[in-house]
Structure 1
């Protein structure tokens, strides 16, 4: 089973989207890493909430275009709506329409193989390429059926590698186009990514510093729970921890970086503090948009009873 940032089941769809928006790009390498990734999803029995097919494109961790079987249009999203000349979206719509037909035909072939044309099934695809500033590159193309690995492309061989019994039929149909797939991953995709990158530097390379909120919650006779939340930052790589008298503390929970909307991220860490503890606790934050790390102290004198207390600091 593929892990976070790869192919997962479409049920529930919100969980799938959350995983996609997770750290598919290494946080430590994000400043010198660019990737172009497409995610395709097809449903055999679409509902009112979801179309039969849709596709999204990501530059690094930012969605830049959307297409679905209802609108039949590829359209830029977010800040890319205001980027002129990046793509001929009418031409891109025709390309996505052709990919939709091909994608849904493959889904039907798999259902026919398992003699289950009346069932509810999901077919997903992920493909794209990435580039490091040091010149190294990579590419990927893989599919999943009902949340399980189905087939993936090995560009070194080159060949499609079946990961499901039905995928052997798919491999046979796709074999005449192996060289086309290899050429797309090694040449066309990097060229497209480089062009998109040139139009998107002001979006992808921006630096939004985090705002920091330190709060605490306690009840009489119990430990205090300190919470440090950082939000509104980009890129997603961030260092976040509590210190006691300048010594790093192991947090009770938290630390995950999640999308907060508008192309920025949020994260938080929790720490338990014994009753009447008078040590000096601070939330330590490091981010590429900060000229220097932030250290936001917790004032235990504000922690007077049940509920949240604390303050906020912005850079």
Structure 2
């Protein structure tokens, strides 16, 4: 084949190859899961056993309904995946308040046995750039008490809600709740939005090929960095295809030798 005819073909094929590798490489760089989350929420669920006055609880943390925190008071095991370490001790403090509330409700109702659940769910949500907070109590699966940011009071009706209000007002919980909803929670949510490290990070970079022990081995072998992933075999197939088009004579020799 004449060199003047082969050159454009070579340049065209090499251009296609470089384009494919560039596009694939761009898609294979390290990427984070999108961190444009709108909600940060904690759930603390207490199970109370009236016959022996014991209780246990589970703490769960969610970012946009993706669980990043689990703590079980029985096993004391913490399963944590997040951009910021949650204050487990502070979350545990909520358990004492929940236990006081549910035991007082049981006492008011004249119960000597039975079991109940009391859950507090709180956090904040980002809507159109504005951050709004929430704090709710749920007794035996029914929401019965909520915090109002407008006037800083507890809203709820019924005997259970009244018992809960007494304990919460006695501990001046309104200040704590308002400070968290308007301060700490939005700050934590913004940290996740800023650092792009919310639930989990994935690495899909192109595999790094390098000689293993190049200074000591006579004919260095090729190793693959297992810490990253990529379309390695696709790249090899493309390179082989282009090589066979550019150098058919050598490609035939390689095939025959194999």
CA distance in 2, matches of 1:72, 1:169: 30
Higher strand share: 1
Q: Which runs of 5+ in 1 are unaligned?
A: 1-29, 207-315
State the TM-score, normalizing by the size of structure 1.
0.46
Aligned to 1:96: 91
CA distance in 2, matches of 1:205, 1:165: 47
Query: In the alignment, is residue 35 of structure 1 matched against residue 39 of structure 2?
Result: yes
Change (3 A) 1:65 1:94: same
Aligned to 2:58: 54
SS in 1 for 2:41: strand
Change (3 A) 1:114 1:56: same
Aligned-CA RMSD value: 2.8
| 8 A Cα contact 1:72 1:97, kept in partner | no
Which of 170, 188, 194 is equivalent to 2:190? 194
Aligned to 1:184: 180
Question: Highest Rg: 1 or 2?
Answer: 2
Which of 133, 141, 144 is equivalent to 1:139? 133
CA distance in 2, matches of 1:165, 1:103: 16
Aligned residue pairs total 163
Aligned to 1:243: none
| 8 A Cα contact 1:42 1:54, kept in partner | yes
Change (3 A) 1:197 1:103: farther
Q: What are the equivalent positions in structure 2 for 1:168-183 lying under 5 Å apart? A: 168-175=162-169, 176-183=172-179
Q: What are the equivalent positions in structure 2 for 1:67-146 lying under 5 Å apart? A: 67-77=71-81, 80=82, 86-87=84-85, 92-132=87-127, 134-146=128-140
CA distance in 1, matches of 2:56, 2:195: 31
Which of 125, 146, 149 is equivalent to 2:143? 149
1:186, distance to aligned residue in structure 2 (A): 1.0
Higher helix share: 2
State the TM-score, normalizing by the size of structure 2.
0.55
Change (3 A) 1:203 1:177: closer
SS in 2 for 1:156: coil
| 8 A Cα contact 2:100 2:167, kept in partner | no
SS in 2 for 1:102: helix
| 8 A Cα contact 1:67 1:96, kept in partner | no
Greater RCO (CA < 8 Å, at least 6 residues apart): 2
| 8 A Cα contact 1:45 1:120, kept in partner | yes
Change (3 A) 1:57 1:128: same
| 8 A Cα contact 2:101 2:167, kept in partner | no
